[in-house]
Amino acid sequence: MNKTSFLGDKPVNRIGFGAMQLAGPGVFGAPSDPERARAVLRRAVELGVDHIDTSQFYGPNVVNELIREALYPYPEHLKLVTKVGGRRDDAGGWLPAQSPAELRVGVEDNLRTLQLERIDLVNLRLFDEHDTEGRLAEQLGALEDLRQEGKLDLIGISNASADTLRRALELVDIACVQNAYSVVNRAEEDGLALCEERDLAFVPFFPLGSAFAGGPRQLAADPVIAEVAARRQITPSQTALAWLLHRSERILLIPGTSSIQHLEENIAAGDIELDEQDMQRLEGATRLGHPMAAAEH
């Protein structure tokens, strides 16, 4: 199993870090212990993480500020990835911000808060695919304009079906797809297959199952996952992450946590070798509902 893959033309370690959980409850407001959050970020980089996923609407502002405080000036090898297309209301609700003007503001806000002149990759986070039919060209066109201006390097898309991805690939160069996918949610098999065909990075969100539907506890309760984990003497979460790494060389992981202990466990999943028997056994894991429309990320 290769431990590195590519984000566009950028080689990266296949286990990165998703920073969403560093904000307060509901990904809103500040964490109870900001220094612990900064320590998690610093430890992630110490452990070899060179791909951090964030967004201005995590907090909002909070997570990007924590990243800047903990890691600026950034290590030369570190790739920072954000997403635009959403915003928060005063109560923490998730709202779309999908117009070209809002996408431009989103990119500019990320650059300012992260203290960057250019960000490595920006994902267009779709909220309602039924609303993209006539807007996708102008949305991706806005990101392409920003790329031409030198404000971002690569463009990705998130929460997109395989059909939407095919339309996007006709419009601009796409480097990355972020969709919900895990050992217990395989609704996006078509999207993964297309990424393999086109040599695109596939970055699952909710890689441990939806945090809004039990997450790691849900994995531990599955008898098949628990059996493989016990046989390998690893945790159910490590089993789920290792399954993803073995499932496709195009998969990059961004598991998130606010705990250094869990961070270290997640990174250690990159050293776990599953054999063919394990992979076949995990085909029997319970398949749960599709979380993409259930909650934002």
> Which residues form the catalytic set?
58
Q: Measured at the alpha carbon of residue 160, what is the angle toward residues 17 and 194, in degrees to the nearest 5?
A: 90
β-partners of residue 157 are 124, 177
Using DSSP's 3-state secondary structure scheme, residue 87 falls into: strand
The 10 Å CB-count burial string (b at 16+, else e) for 204-240 is bbbbbbbbebebbebbbebebbbebbeebebbbbbbb
- Categorise residue 94: left if φ over 0, alpha if ψ from -120 to 50, beta otherwise: beta
CA 280 – CA 268 distance, rounded (Å) = 22
Nearest in space to 50 (alpha carbons), one of 31, 75, 21: 75
CA 159 – CA 86 distance, rounded (Å) = 12
Nearest in space to 203 (alpha carbons), one of 166, 253, 132, 163: 253
- Categorise residue 98: left if φ over 0, alpha if ψ from -120 to 50, beta otherwise: alpha
CA 297 – CA 281 distance, rounded (Å) = 30
CA 218 – CA 288 distance, rounded (Å) = 10
Per-residue HEC secondary structure of 1-36 comes to CCCEEEECCEEEECECEECHHHCCHHHECCCCCHHH
Nearest in space to 126 (alpha carbons), one of 228, 205, 63: 205
CA 176 – CA 154 distance, rounded (Å) = 8
